[in-house]
Amino acid sequence: MPFFKPKPPVDRDEYEWLLACFAWLRTVLDDAHIRPALVLPGDPELISARTAPALFEAVRTSAQMADWPCRLEKVEVQLPDTSPHIRHDSGEVLGTFSIENEEAVIRYSSQMLKDPDALAATFAHELCHYLLVGAGDPPGGPDLLEHATDCAAVYLGFGVLLANSARTFQQWSDGEWSGWQSRPQGYLSENALVTATAMFAALHNYEIDRASAALKPYLRSDLKKAFKAVTTDYPDISQAMESVNLLEWRFS
């Protein structure tokens, strides 16, 4: 064992929670023998989608949910903050999931149309709400449900899309001064998302360089750092997931 072990780009508590969340997702989805696709921004299915409904179909096909009945709605005004949702820290709700009259409904903000990759990440997050209906509380309890939903989207192969859209940068000007501002989107941080993506790659034997090349440049070193830590700490990550005591996490 090396004297200096590689460290992930998140703290130890979050690192262990991500592994526990993967273990929980495998249990509730009963998918131990499924190898999800690694969905990257340049995937032909995403690029060929010219409308939001077509992009939604591409995302749910990749999530193996093409036959799950769901209604998609674009909303021109601010979405209500009353159902599971993904949003900026500014309070803007970007997407919601709800069950209405026994029908699954996903709504998305029209402002997302200007960023198809971020919209695909939003669709992945909301579809995971659908996937986890009735799954119970994730590790750490109900307060972490939205974080676990982000993790579920990574678990299904959308980690690069989520990490790339987790923080947006915008230029501003007030007539006299100008500059750049950044805003987070979603619930898991960029570092948590790349760490979960590293776990996904290790679990399914995907080449980390493919994921790295598709990430924003400043995230690439963190992904490689996370992958090195994951493969060092968990040489057999599938077995490590099976060893997680989810009962302990229920009361943590």
Q: What is the mean pLDDT of the chain?
A: 86
* pLDDT above 60 for 135: yes
pLDDT for position 234: 97
With 0.85 as the threshold, say if the pTM is over it.
Answer: yes
Q: HSE of 145 in the Cβ direction (CA atoms, 13 Å)?
A: 17
pLDDT for position 82: 46
pLDDT for position 75: 87
- For the segment 68-84, the average pLDDT, to the nearest whole number, is 71
Task: Using pLDDT thresholds of 50, 70 and 90, give the confidence band for residue 69.
Answer: very high
pLDDT, tens digit, 9 for 90 and up, residues 39-55: 999 899 999 999 999 99
How is residue 246 written in tokens? Answer: 């989810």
- For the segment 177-187, the average pLDDT, to the nearest whole number, is 46
* pLDDT above 70 for 174: no
Task: Using pLDDT thresholds of 50, 70 and 90, give the confidence band for residue 169.
Answer: very low
pLDDT for position 168: 52
| Percent of the chain's residues with pLDDT above 70 | 83
Top mean-pLDDT range of 9-23, 113-127, 156-170, 177-191: 9-23
> Lowest-pLDDT range, 44-53, 92-101, 161-170, 199-208?
161-170
Mode of pairing for the β-strands spanning 103-109 and 93-100: antiparallel
* pLDDT above 60 for 80: no
- For the segment 79-92, the average pLDDT, to the nearest whole number, is 43
SS (H, E, C) the chain: CCCCCCCCCCCHHHHHHHHHHHHHHHHHHCCCCCCCCCCCCCCHHHHCCCCHHHHHHHHHHHCCCCCCCCEEEEECCCCCCCCCEEEECCCCEEEEEEEECCEEEEEEEHHHHHCHHHHHHHHHHHHHHHHCCCCCCCCCCHHHHHHHHHHHHHHHHHHHHHHHHCEEEEEEECCCCEEEEEEEECCCCHHHHHHHHHHHHHHHCCCHHHHHHHCCHHHHHHHHHHHHHHHHHCCCHHHHHHHCCHHHHHCC
Top mean-pLDDT range of 86-100, 163-177, 234-248: 234-248
> Closest by alpha carbon to 85, among 70, 69, 105?
105
Task: Using pLDDT thresholds of 50, 70 and 90, give the confidence band for residue 87.
Answer: very low
| Percent of the chain's residues with pLDDT above 90 | 72
